[in-house]
Amino acid sequence: MSAAIQNLETIVIETSQPIKQSVIWLHGLGADGHDFAPIVPELNMNNTRFIFPHAPLKPITMNNGYEMRAWYDLFGLSMQHKQDEAGMREMQKNIEALIANEVAQGISESKIVLAGFSQGGAMALFTALRHPKRLAAVLALSTYVSLKEKLGEEANPANKDVPILMAHGSFDSVITLDTCLVSRNLLESLNYKLEWHEYPMAHSVCAEEIDDISRFLSKVFKAE
């Protein structure tokens, strides 16, 4: 089914009833909510609502203004490029609205995971680490910490100990492993609980990674 929350259309998959927990999963640049929906059966998660929002269409500076689905504008792929802070903060409010919608349906924040791939992963980290109530966990796949110089001062203590699974491909040429390692080191320096996985793949997802995600989700939901 589809719904619109603050202009974000979503795909919603419920694995079995009753729904006890939720995963909000943000796709990468140029994709849409359909991108990760097919892996839900492989995760073997009962009683779970998966929400896959479609990012709005935006002109992307890095791609000569070509319009595509994006959580915020991109000026380049290195950390030295300008970052779209205003776009990130605007999108943070939309993702917070998705979280609030789950809470309104009876799912506590401690049973909600924010997940994302690439630009979606950056947005998941950006939102989760600033969220004022403890979430269940964060999945940060093939991604990085955006506005990294502001995280220390803006991070909310409520999610200081939120479990983070960070996974990356050693052959990633889109968001390089070195870029990701800078973000991993930053999170570790701020004492976040980080589970790190590296796979011999490019900017993608592999079967071993899906198995690791399944184990991680099972662990964090049982722990709550």
CATH of the domain at 17: 3.40.50.1820
Q: What is the pLDDT of residues 34-47, one digit of tens each?
A: 999 999 999 999 99
Amino acid at 134: R
Give the model's pLDDT for residue 77. 74
User: Which of 32, 84, 172, 183 does the annotation list as catalytic?
Assistant: 172
**203 part of the active site:** yes
**pTM, 2 dp:** 0.94
Q: What is the pLDDT of residues 59-103, one digit of tens each?
A: 999 999 999 999 999 998 776 788 999 999 999 999 999 999 999
Partners of 21 in the beta sheet? Answer: 48
Structural domain boundaries enclosing 86: 2-223
Residues in the chain, total: 224
Q: What is the pLDDT of residues 149-175, one digit of tens each?
A: 999 999 999 999 999 999 999 999 999
**172 part of the active site:** yes
Number of domains in the chain: 1
User: Which of 203, 204, 212, 214 does the annotation list as catalytic?
Assistant: 203
**197 part of the active site:** no
Cα 39 from Cα 214, distance rounded (Å)? 10
Q: What is the pLDDT of residues 50-69, one digit of tens each?
A: 999 999 999 999 999 999 99
Amino acid at 127: T
Q: For residue 80, which phi and psi values (nearest 5 degrees)?
A: -80, -15
User: Which of 118, 142, 146, 183 does the annotation list as catalytic?
Assistant: 118
